Structure 1
Amino acid sequence: MKRKSRGMDRLIAFIIVGAMVLIILAILMVSYFFGFIGFLKVMGVEYESYWAICLFLFLIFVFGSITELFSKVLIFLMKNARLNRVLFITSAAFVDIFFTFLSVYIADLLVSGITVSILAVTLLSVLFFLMESALDSEFLRKKTS
C-alpha cells in the first residue's frame, strides 16, 4: 500500500503535539487554580464563587503585568545606581513585593465576590515573589552582577 500524502502525516503529528501541549497547560493551570484555592482556604479568605476567584486571578495577572514594568524600571535604575550587593538585593526584593502587593490589592478592590485580608495579600505577594525568584534562574546573577 502506497502513501498518498506526507502532508496528512504532518497534520496528524501537529494535532497530536498540539493536544499534548494543551493537556500539559491545562494540568498546570488547574493545579495552579486549586493551589490558589488551598492558599485562600488556609488564610481564611471568603469568596462567593469560583468565578470570583477566576476573575481575581485574571485581574492579578493583568495588573501584575502592568506593575511589573514599573518594577523592572525601578530595579534597572537601582542597578545603575551602584548600590552595594546586600542593599541592592534587599531593595529589589522590596520593590518586587510592593508592586505585587499593589496589583493583588487592586484586584481585591475590583472583585466584589472575594474578601481578602491585608495579611493574606501580604503573604500572597511574598509567595508570588518567592515563586518568581525561584523560577527565574538568573535572579541572583542579575541582582548581584
Structure 2
Amino acid sequence: MKLTEDPEKQTLPGSKAAFRLLGPDGSLLLDVLQLAEEPPPQAGQELRVWPRGAQESCTVRPAHVEPLLRLWVQQGQLCEPLPSLAESRAFAQLSLSRLSPAHRRLEQPALYQVGGGPRHQPPLCAPCPHSHPSSSPLLCAGRAV
C-alpha cells in the first residue's frame, strides 16, 4: 500500500476486484474494492471491510453479492457480445433505482459507502462516518452504522 498523509492519495497496488453488497431486500449496503487474488465475498457470510475514511473496520453480512468488474476486451478482442442499448439503459435504470432517496437527492446527497477488502487496512483515515440507520447490517466496532 502506498502511504501518504493525504488519505485521498493512498493506493493499493495490484489487480483489483470490485463487488456490490446488497441487503435481503435488494438495498445497497456498500461496494467493496479488494485485490483480485483475495477470495470474493460470499452471500450470507460475514465480511470484514474498511469503509473509506474510517479508522475502524466494519462487519457486513450481505444477502447478495454482485461482481462489478467484467472483462469485455482482452488484447483488443471482445470477450463476449456487448449488451444492446436497451439492455444498458435497463441496467443503468435498475442501478439508480436501488440507490436510497438520500443518495439520489440533488442537494447534499449522502455519500455512498465504499470499503476496502479484508487486507486493505488504511492506517491514515478520518473517523468512521455513522450516517446509516441503526437497523443497517453494517457494524463498526460493534456499533451499527
TM-score range, shorter chain: under 0.3
Structure 1 or 2: more helix by fraction: 1
Query: What is the TM-score when the length of structure 1 is the normalising length?
Result: 0.22
